[in-house]
Chain A
Amino acid sequence: MATVSEFTFSNFVKSVLWLLFWILMIVSLIVLPIIFIVLFYVPPPVINGVEINPYLLLTMLINPQVGAPLIRPTIESLFFRITVFPGFTFAALFATVLIFAERKTLAKMQLRVGPYHAGREAFWWANSLGGFLQLIADLLKLLGKEIIVPSGADKPIFWAAPAVLIIAAAGLIALIPVAPGWVIADIDVSLLAVFALLGFFPLTVLLASYASNSKYPFIGGLRALYQLISYEIPLILAILPIVILASTLSLTGIVEAQYAYWFILFVPIGAFVFFVTALAELERIPFDLPEAESEIVAGWLTEYSGMAYGLIQLANYIKMYALSALFTTLFLGGWIGPEFLPSIEVFNVQVLSSSEVSSIFWFTIKTFGVALFMIIIRGTNPRVKIDVLLRAGWSKLIALAFINVFIAVALLYVGVVGIGP
C-alpha cells in the first residue's frame, strides 16, 4: 500500500531540488549533445544571403531589429507556406474556429447557449470567449480514448484511411490562393488538380468501410459511394462555365478574371449547384446519409474511435474550409475587395503590404461567410433519403448545371464577359 507522506516545507524544497537536479542532468547529458551533433551535421539555413547560425539567433534575442529584414524572406519560403500560412496551421486554425462557430450558431438557433463554461474562469482573456476551451477539452478527450480496432478488420487499410483523408484534404489547401502570390502550388491546371484530389474521398471512404468488416459501416460506405460519385458530375459541370468565362484552369487566373465583376452575378445557378453539391461532398446535413445516426449508427465511421475518429473529423472540417474557399475563389472573387487595412511593419521593415493584408482579410471573411451558411442550413433541415438525393442529383442538378453552361456560352458569345483586365 502506498502511503502519502505528510506535506512539510522541507519535503517540498527537497522535491523541487531533486526536480531541478534531474532536469539539469537530462539537459546537459542528453539534450545538449544531441543538439550539438545535429548542428554539426546539418548546414544552417540561408535566408536572403544571411546564414542563420546560433550566434545570429542569440543576437536576435537581444536585438530583435536584426531579424526584422529576415521576416519577409522567411514567410515567402515554401516551408513556411506549407506548414503555417496559407498551409496546414492556418487551415487547422480555421477549422477549429469553424467548429466553435458551428456549435455557437447552432445553439443560438436552437434556443440554447452552447459551450459556455470551459475556460471561462481560467484566464482573463478567456472570459469573453465563453467556452472556447471546450474544443481543447474535446481534443484531450479524444486523445485519451483507446482506439479500438475490430478483430476482423483489415488493419493496414483501416489505419490508412484517416491519414489518406487528412492528406487529401490538406492537398486541397495547397491549391487555393488566399492573396496575390500567396498560394503554395500555383500550377496552371489547379482546378483539375482539385477534382483529382476530390476523387480520393469516395475511394477512401469505401475502403475504410470495407476494411471495418462490420455491417453498418458497409451500408454507410455504399451510401457514401453512391452519393459522392453521383454528386461529382454536377460539381464539375457547375464549374465548367467558370472555365469558359475565365478561359483558364488556374485558380489564380480565375480570381484575377473577377476584378470587374464576381462570377456569381453571371452564373448564379452554377453557384447554387456548386453549393448543394459541396454540401453533399462534405456529407453534412441535409446530405449526411452515410453517417445517418438513427438508421445506420454512424455509417462508415462506426468502428472508428479515439483520435482516429478525431482525425477523420478534422479532415472533414479542413475539407469544409477548402470547399468554402473554393466557392469564394470561383464565385465570390477570392481575395478581391477594397484595400483599407494598414500594412504590417516590424521595426520599420514592411512585412505585409496593405494590399496583402486586405486581401487576406477579404478572403477569410468571404470563406467564413460561406461556411457559416452551411452551418445555418444544418440547423434548419432534416436529412434527405437516398432515393430523393439520387433523383435530385441525376435529374435536377445536372439539368440545372447544363442550363448554366448554356448561359455562360451565351454570355461569352454576346461579349458581356470575357477574360478579365
Chain B
Amino acid sequence: MGVEMGRERIPGFELEGRDEDGMDRGILTLSVGPQHPGSGHFRLIVKVDGDMIVEALPDPGYVHRGEEKMCEYRNYIQNIPHLERPMIADSCGILYPYVLAVEEICNIAVPERAKYIRVIMAEINRCIFELYWLGIYGIFLGHSTMFMWPMADRELLIDLAEMASGARVTHAYFVPGGVRNDLPDAFPEKAKRHLLYFKNRLKEYKDIFYDNPLFQARTVGVGILSKEDAINLGATGPVLRASGVEHDIRKVEPYDVYDELDFEVITMKEGDSFARAYVPWLEMYESVEIALQALEKMPSGPVRTKLGPNPKGAVGEAFKRVEAARGELAYYLVSDGNPKPYRVKLSVPSFREIPVMAHLLKGAKLADMPSIYWSMNYWPVEADR
C-alpha cells in the first residue's frame, strides 16, 4: 500500500501491518542519519506511528577505520597517536588502558610521579569531554546558550592540557613507562586556579540549565532505564550509574593511584535522561576534587622509565580496563614476543550503549529522540573504531 502524495509515490510512505479490525496502520520509516543534523556519523532507522517510535534500528559502521588491524602493523610506541583518534575529545581516557596493558606485557615499572600526572591529566580530560558532551546535548535540545557556555569554559581546561602536553586536543601524552614529559613548573599553581574557577562556574550551569523548567520538561521521566535493564543490556559509565548501579572501575579495580585518592561514586536512582545529564555534572565536581588532591600529593622525581629502542613484549596477554568519561574502556592485548602486538582488541563504551539506545527509543516519542540518543553518551567514531 502507498500513500499518494503529490504526483508520485514516495518510498518509505508504505503502510505496514494491519490492526485487528483490518485497518491499515500508517508507519513511516525515517532514516535518521548519516546526513541528518541530529545524528552524527551514524544512522538510526526509525519507524514512527504518528509521533511514536515503533522501532529504532541502530546502524553503525560509517566511520570504521580498522584501528585494531592498524595496531598489528606498528610497534608499541607507534601505536600511541593513532589510538587516540577514535575519541579525540577524551584522548587520555582512550589511551590509558593501552598504556597500562603495554606496561604489563613488557614488564615496565612506572615512576610514582608519572602515576599522579596521569591521574591529573585523565581527570582534566574527563572534564573536557563532559563539557563537550554537555554542549552538544544542549544544542540538540534546542538550547543554543547551553552549547556555547561549556564550549567556552572548556577552553580553560584545554589550556591546562596544552601546557602539560603541548597539544590542545590529541595530547599523545601517556606513553608506556610514564608520561612523555614532565609538567612545567608553573603548572600546579595555574591548574589550581583554573580548576577552582571552573568549580564555581559549574554552579551557574545548574542555575541556568538544569533548573530550567523547560529543560526538565524535556528530560525528566524521558527514556527511563531500570536498574535490571541497565545491567542486562550492558550499559556502562554515567548511563549505568544514573540507573542506580554503583559501578566505577576507579573504585572496583583501582589503577595507578586512584586507591590513594578520596572520591565518591555518583549514582542516581531515576534512570531518566535528566539523571544521565545530571550525573556527569556531579562527576565533574569529583574530577576537580581528584585533580586537586593529586596535585597536592604529587611527589617529585622522574616521570618516565627509559625504554629500549624497540621494546618487545613477553609472550602472553594482558587485559586492562579504566573508567573513561563515557564508561568502562578495556584493551585486550596479545603478544607473540615481537615488537609489534599480535592482536589488540578495544572494548569501547560507546559500542556497548547501542542496545541500550535501541531499547530506550522503542515506544518513545519522536521529539524525545534527541534527548534519549544524546544522553547515551554515544560517539559514533569511537563505536566504529
Give chain A's interface residues, CB within 8 Å of chain B. 106, 109-112, 152-154, 210-211, 213-216, 218-219, 285-286, 288-289, 292-297, 378-388
User: B36 — which chain A residues lie within 8 A by C-beta?
Assistant: 297
Least CB distance from B356 to A in Å reads: 19
User: B370 — which chain A residues lie within 8 A by C-beta?
Assistant: 294-295
Distance in angstroms between the alpha carbons of A219 and B13 in the assembled complex? 12
| B37 contacts partner chain A, Cβ-Cβ < 8 Å | yes
User: A110 — which chain B residues lie within 8 A by C-beta?
Assistant: 144-145, 147-149, 152
| Contact A381 to B365, CB < 8 A, known contacts A152-B8, A210-B5, A213-B5 | no
Chain B, 8-46, contact with A by CB distance < 8 Å: what is the 0/1 string? 101011000000000000001010000011100000000
| Contact A381 to B143, CB < 8 A, known contacts A215-B10, A297-B37 | yes
User: A388 — which chain B residues lie within 8 A by C-beta?
Assistant: 217
Least CB distance from B233 to A in Å reads: 24
Least CB distance from A109 to B in Å reads: 6
Binds A, one of B182-190, B207-215, B258-266, B283-291: B207-215
Distance in angstroms between the alpha carbons of A292 and B36 in the assembled complex? 12
User: A294 — which chain B residues lie within 8 A by C-beta?
Assistant: 37-38, 139-142, 369-370
Distance in angstroms between the alpha carbons of A386 and B368 in the assembled complex? 10
Distance in angstroms between the alpha carbons of A361 and B179 in the assembled complex? 66
| B218 contacts partner chain A, Cβ-Cβ < 8 Å | yes
The answer on a CB contact under 8 Å between B365 and A286 is no
The answer on a CB contact under 8 Å between A380 and B212 is yes
The answer on a CB contact under 8 Å between A295 and B145 is no
The answer on a CB contact under 8 Å between A383 and B7 is no
4 tightest A-B CB contacts, nearest first: A383-B142, A294-B38, A110-B148, A382-B143
User: B313 — which chain A residues lie within 8 A by C-beta?
Assistant: none
Chain B, 350-379, contact with A by CB distance < 8 Å: what is the 0/1 string? 000000000000000111111000000000
Distance in angstroms between the alpha carbons of A110 and B152 in the assembled complex? 9
The answer on a CB contact under 8 Å between B152 and A289 is no
Known contacts A152-B10, A294-B37, A297-B37; can you find 9 more A-B pairs with CB under 8 A?
A213-B10, A215-B13, A292-B367, A296-B366, A297-B38, A381-B143, A382-B143, A382-B212, A388-B217
User: B301 — which chain A residues lie within 8 A by C-beta?
Assistant: none
Least CB distance from A140 to B in Å reads: 24
Can you give 13 A-B contacts (C-beta < 8 A)? Answer: A152-B8, A210-B5, A218-B5, A288-B142, A294-B38, A294-B370, A296-B366, A297-B36, A297-B38, A382-B142, A382-B212, A383-B141, A385-B217
Name the CB-closest residue of B to A294: B38
| B240 contacts partner chain A, Cβ-Cβ < 8 Å | no
Distance in angstroms between the alpha carbons of A221 and B281 in the assembled complex? 36
User: How many inter-chain residue pairs (CB < 8 Å) link A and B?
Assistant: 106
Distance in angstroms between the alpha carbons of A213 and B10 in the assembled complex? 8
Give chain B's interface residues, CB within 8 Å of chain A. 5-8, 10, 12-13, 28, 30, 36-38, 48, 51, 138-149, 152, 208, 212, 214-215, 217-218, 365-370
The answer on a CB contact under 8 Å between A382 and B215 is yes
User: B38 — which chain A residues lie within 8 A by C-beta?
Assistant: 293-295, 297
Contact of B208 among A215, A380, A384 (CB under 8 A): A380
Report which residue of B6, B148, B218, B366 has the largest number of chain A beta carbons within 10 angstroms of its beta carbon: B6
Distance in angstroms between the alpha carbons of A152 and B11 in the assembled complex? 12
Name the CB-closest residue of A to B209: A382
The answer on a CB contact under 8 Å between B217 and A384 is yes
The answer on a CB contact under 8 Å between B138 and A382 is yes
The answer on a CB contact under 8 Å between A295 and B367 is yes
Distance in angstroms between the alpha carbons of A214 and B140 in the assembled complex? 22
User: B8 — which chain A residues lie within 8 A by C-beta?
Assistant: 152, 213
User: A112 — which chain B residues lie within 8 A by C-beta?
Assistant: 148
User: B147 — which chain A residues lie within 8 A by C-beta?
Assistant: 110
The answer on a CB contact under 8 Å between A380 and B145 is yes
Least CB distance from B216 to A in Å reads: 10
The answer on a CB contact under 8 Å between A219 and B145 is no
Least CB distance from A346 to B in Å reads: 46
Distance in angstroms between the alpha carbons of A16 and B360 in the assembled complex? 71
User: A211 — which chain B residues lie within 8 A by C-beta?
Assistant: 6
The answer on a CB contact under 8 Å between B214 and A286 is yes
| Contact A383 to B218, CB < 8 A, known contacts A215-B30, A293-B38 | yes
Report which residue of B28, B38, B149, B208 has the largest number of chain A beta carbons within 10 angstroms of its beta carbon: B38
The answer on a CB contact under 8 Å between A381 and B212 is yes
| Contact A382 to B51, CB < 8 A, known contacts A152-B10, A289-B367, A294-B38 | no
Least CB distance from A154 to B in Å reads: 5
Least CB distance from B112 to A in Å reads: 40
Least CB distance from A11 to B in Å reads: 50
Name the CB-closest residue of A to B48: A219
User: A288 — which chain B residues lie within 8 A by C-beta?
Assistant: 142
User: B145 — which chain A residues lie within 8 A by C-beta?
Assistant: 106, 109-110, 379-380
Distance in angstroms between the alpha carbons of A334 and B138 in the assembled complex? 37
User: A153 — which chain B residues lie within 8 A by C-beta?
Assistant: 6
User: A382 — which chain B residues lie within 8 A by C-beta?
Assistant: 138, 141-143, 146, 212, 214-215, 218
The answer on a CB contact under 8 Å between A293 and B37 is yes
Least CB distance from B251 to A in Å reads: 34
Distance in angstroms between the alpha carbons of A295 and B152 in the assembled complex? 26
Contact of A152 among B7, B144, B218 (CB under 8 A): B7
User: B6 — which chain A residues lie within 8 A by C-beta?
Assistant: 152-154, 210-211, 213
Least CB distance from A377 to B in Å reads: 10
Least CB distance from A213 to B in Å reads: 4
Name the CB-closest residue of B to A385: B367
| Contact A154 to B369, CB < 8 A, known contacts A111-B149, A294-B38, A379-B144 | no
Contact of B5 among A152, A286, A296 (CB under 8 A): A152
The answer on a CB contact under 8 Å between A386 and B51 is yes
Least CB distance from B278 to A in Å reads: 15
Name the CB-closest residue of B to A150: B6
Distance in angstroms between the alpha carbons of A408 and B28 in the assembled complex? 48
Name the CB-closest residue of B to A379: B145
Least CB distance from A387 to B in Å reads: 7
Least CB distance from B83 to A in Å reads: 31
User: B141 — which chain A residues lie within 8 A by C-beta?
Assistant: 294, 382-383
